[in-house]
């Protein structure tokens, strides 16, 4: 009986660690964003009620939940790592935000975001380079991309927000 629990526990730990590693290799390691930066990014996104927002690599849901709760956005998080996915899924259920907020365990490179009004990312330079063509192909004119720390090389941001040297830079792009 104890052996069964050890085997099951080992398998769960392996799955959790594998999904974290895969997410880190694919786009970026899980790095929680400070609350003040979440608020700043959402404010810069200028989200209006009913707009569709995606957080690519949504982690524990710290963008999708306030986007839905405070701004009235229809928000979707796309997360590949199991533990942050389970956490944000549970938090959305507990807060009863299921009608306007959701998280999907998906690879965002393969997920169509053509209906997005706002995209939020906190991903690596490599990931942003990979997303550039996706954004050009899928996003409609006027869609806003808010990227924490990492710019989209070759694109000119409409806003670069960095109130002080201690703050993370946030880049805002408007698709033309």
How do the domains of the chain map onto residue ranges? Answer: 2-174
Any idea what the Cα angle at residue 148 is, between residues 50 and 67, rounded to 5°? 20
Question: Could you read off the pLDDT of 128-140 as tens digits, one per residue?
Answer: 999 999 999 999 9
**Residues sharing a CB contact under 8 Å with residue 97, sequence separation 6 or more, in sequence order:** 65, 68, 69
Structure-token pair, residue 159: 């806003």
Q: Is the pLDDT of residue 24 over 60?
A: no
Is domain 2-174 classified as CATH 3.90.1150.10?
A: no
Q: Which residue has the higher pLDDT, 72 or 12?
A: 72
Mean pLDDT (the chain, rounded): 90
Helix or strand (DSSP H, E) at 170: strand 170-174
Task: Read off the pTM.
Answer: 0.86
Q: Please, which contacts does 14-22 make with residues 24 or more away whose CB atoms are closer than 8 Å?
A: 15/82, 16/81, 16/82, 16/83, 19/80, 19/81, 19/82, 19/83, 20/81, 20/82, 20/83, 22/80, 22/81
For the chain, the maximum distance between any two Cα atoms, rounded to a whole number of angstroms, is: 61
Share of the chain above pLDDT 90, in %: 77
Terminal CA-CA length for the chain: 61
pLDDT at residue number 143: 98
Q: Are strands 144-148 and 170-174 parallel, antiparallel or unpaired?
A: antiparallel
Q: Can you tell me which residue has the tokens 């927002």?
A: 53
Q: CA 142, CA 134: separation in Å to the nearest integer?
A: 15
């Amino acid at each position: 009986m104890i052996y069964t629990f050890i085997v099951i526990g080992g398998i769960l730990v392996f799955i959790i660690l594998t999904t974290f590693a895969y997410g880190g290799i694919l786009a970026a390691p899980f790095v929680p964003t400070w609350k003040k930066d979440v608020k700043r990014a959402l404010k810069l996104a200028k989200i209006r009620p009913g707009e569709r927002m995606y957080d690519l690599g949504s982690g524990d849901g710290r963008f999708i939940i306030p986007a839905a709760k405070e701004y009235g956005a229809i928000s979707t998080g796309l997360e590949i790592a199991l533990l942050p996915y389970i956490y944000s899924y549970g938090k959305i259920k507990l807060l009863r935000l299921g009608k306007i907020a959701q998280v999907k365990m998906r690879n965002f490179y393969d997920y169509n975001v053509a209906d997005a009004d706002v995209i939020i990312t906190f991903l690596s330079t490599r990931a942003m380079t990979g997303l550039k063509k996706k954004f050009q192909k899928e996003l409609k004119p006027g869609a806003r991309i808010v990227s924490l720390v990492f710019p989209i090389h070759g694109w000119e941001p409409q806003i670069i927000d960095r109130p002080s040297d201690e703050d993370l830079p946030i880049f805002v792009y408007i698709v033309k």
